[in-house]
Amino acid sequence: MSSQELPTKFEELSEEELSKMTIRRATGEKRLVRCTPGGILLPYAFVKLARGFHDFQFRSGDVVVSTFPKSGTVWMGEILWAMTHFDRLAAMDTSAINGRSYFFDLDFLHPSSSSDYSPLIAAFQEKCPGGQVDEGIMLQLANADEGRRVIKTHLQFSFFNDSLLSKSKVVYVARNPKDACVSLHYFLSQKLDTVVEGGFPATAETFMKNGMTFAPYWGHLQQAWKLKDHPNVHFVFYEDLKADVMAELGKLNGFLGLDLKEDQLEKVAEATSFENMRKRDLEKPLTKMEGSFFRKGVVGDWKNLATPELDAQMDRWIAENSKDMGIQFRYS
Ligand code: A3P
């Protein structure tokens, strides 16, 4: 373990601040911290694991999916696993997603006592005998894996050491903030232990006021956008994946230096189509919620929920925050 000082400081939100929030969070996220620099909002449980994440050594061959929540993390995780483990494609039908790729944030988003965790704990105890659950299951499982790892996280790059960008290949997926907000609204509303008071307008307001876990949305986007030409960073839009998945798989193929053939990429596209991922989720659900995690998977669902006033407000918020970035989203 390194003794280097962590680059982040944490301040816990007061009861008063929490009581003003319109989202009563799931058990694992009841206490929150704000991180400096960046003002990033994270569950309190992260603090204990911050050192472990910071010291985690990425290796060459690792592929990391980095996203703001609800931007296509699981989809990209499956695409990258399928591409980097093409000879084992059939295993996607038999094994669970969390057994293939490592979603780091599970370690602090969900209390390890939750029943969602039990199959993972069993795998953890088998693969990491003597390991402590509260030191992060995903972290330790990933550490113990000597193969080619696919890691998913919403944590900004600054929470990791330099090996993230110098050793691994990072794929950043951005989704337009309107649809990410809608997806987040449904996700929060349908998770069994979260209450969203005030319906969709309250979710949208919380989103724009940086009250969502992992917010601020723009800070998240900016750190990756600035590095979009870095040789180990590939920036992709959810909307582009939806519009022409084969074109995007072709770019990923080049970025990862994989040399998969057209018919192999077609098989990856098929195995990771929305319909197929949803179908597999019926048998091995990714998370406990009403309805499927794979909800709609479309671009433009925002227009089904937002009033013209809310839409105009969101447009102003987007224009203000993106004016110096030169980033253009598609909304339909
Ligand atoms: P919706 O709620 O709009 O349907 P994340 O994995 O970052 O949490 O993102 C979840 C969103 O990605 C959900 O959006 C989900 O349906 C969508 N998604 C997951 N798999 C997908 C796929 N194969 N194709 C398109 N969208 C997908």
* Residues 64, 153 contacting (CB under 8 angstroms): yes
Ligand 1 pocket member 203 (CB < 6 A): no
Ligand 1 pocket member 108 (CB < 6 A): no
* pLDDT digits 0-9 by tens, 16-52: 888 777 676 655 567 899 999 999 999 999 999 999 9
With respect to residue 330, please indicate whether it lies within any of the assigned structural domains: no
Ligand 1 pocket member 239 (CB < 6 A): no
In angstroms, the first-to-last Cα distance of the chain is 47
Q: Show the domain range for 314.
A: 9-322
Report in angstroms the alpha-carbon separations of 254 from 166, 216, 234, 258, 307: 18, 31, 10, 7, 42
- Torsion of Cα atoms, 47 then 76 then 259 then 99, to 10°: 70
DSSP 8-class letter at 289: B
pLDDT at 49: 96
Taking CA atoms only, the protein residue closest to ligand 1 atom 26 is 297
Cis omega before residue 69 (within 30°)? Answer: no
Ligand 1 pocket member 300 (CB < 6 A): no
Compute, in angstroms, the gap from residue 71 CA to the centroid of ligand 1: 7
Ligand 1 mutation target, pool 183, 203, 275, most atoms within 8 A of CB:
183
pLDDT at 3: 65
32: β partners: 43
Compute, in angstroms, the gap from residue 237 CA to the centroid of ligand 1: 13
Q: Two tokens at 314? A: 């969101």
Ligand 1 atom with the shortest distance to the CA of 242: 25
pLDDT at 46: 96
Compute, in angstroms, the gap from residue 72 CA to the centroid of ligand 1: 5
Ligand 1 pocket member 73 (CB < 6 A): yes
Q: What integer is the mean pLDDT of 107-121?
A: 75
With respect to residue 251, please indicate whether it lies within any of the assigned structural domains: yes
Compute, in angstroms, the gap from residue 105 CA to the centroid of ligand 1: 17
With respect to residue 327, please indicate whether it lies within any of the assigned structural domains: no
Taking CA atoms only, the protein residue closest to ligand 1 atom 22 is 274
pLDDT at 119: 79
Domain tally for the chain? 1
Compute, in angstroms, the gap from residue 51 CA to the centroid of ligand 1: 30
* pLDDT digits 0-9 by tens, 52-94: 999 999 999 999 999 999 999 999 999 999 999 999 999 999 9
With respect to residue 233, please indicate whether it lies within any of the assigned structural domains: yes
* pLDDT digits 0-9 by tens, 236-281: 999 999 999 999 999 999 999 999 999 999 999 999 999 999 999 8
pLDDT at 25: 61
Ligand 1 pocket member 153 (CB < 6 A): no
Residue 325: is its pLDDT beyond 60?
yes
Q: What integer is the mean pLDDT of 103-122?
A: 80
Ligand 1 pocket member 183 (CB < 6 A): yes
- What are the strands, taking DSSP E only, across the chain? 9-12, 23-24, 32-36, 40-43, 63-67, 102-103, 150-153, 169-174, 195-196, 233-237
Vertex 188: Cα angle to 139 and 52 (nearest 5): 15
pLDDT at 282: 87
Ligand 1 pocket member 272 (CB < 6 A): yes
Ligand 1 pocket member 105 (CB < 6 A): no
- Whichever domain contains 318, its CATH number is 3.40.50.300
CA nearest 105: which of 79, 68, 76? 68
With respect to residue 70, please indicate whether it lies within any of the assigned structural domains: yes
With respect to residue 1, please indicate whether it lies within any of the assigned structural domains: no
With respect to residue 331, please indicate whether it lies within any of the assigned structural domains: no
* pLDDT digits 0-9 by tens, 153-163: 999 999 999 99
CA nearest 180: which of 206, 155, 156, 157? 206
Q: What integer is the mean pLDDT of 221-228?
A: 98
CA nearest 69: which of 35, 37, 40? 40
11: β partners: 34
pTM score, whole prediction: 0.96
109-123, 217-231, 261-275: range with lowest mean pLDDT: 109-123
With respect to residue 332, please indicate whether it lies within any of the assigned structural domains: no
pLDDT at 5: 87
DSSP 8-class letter at 98: H
The SS3 of residue 133 is helix
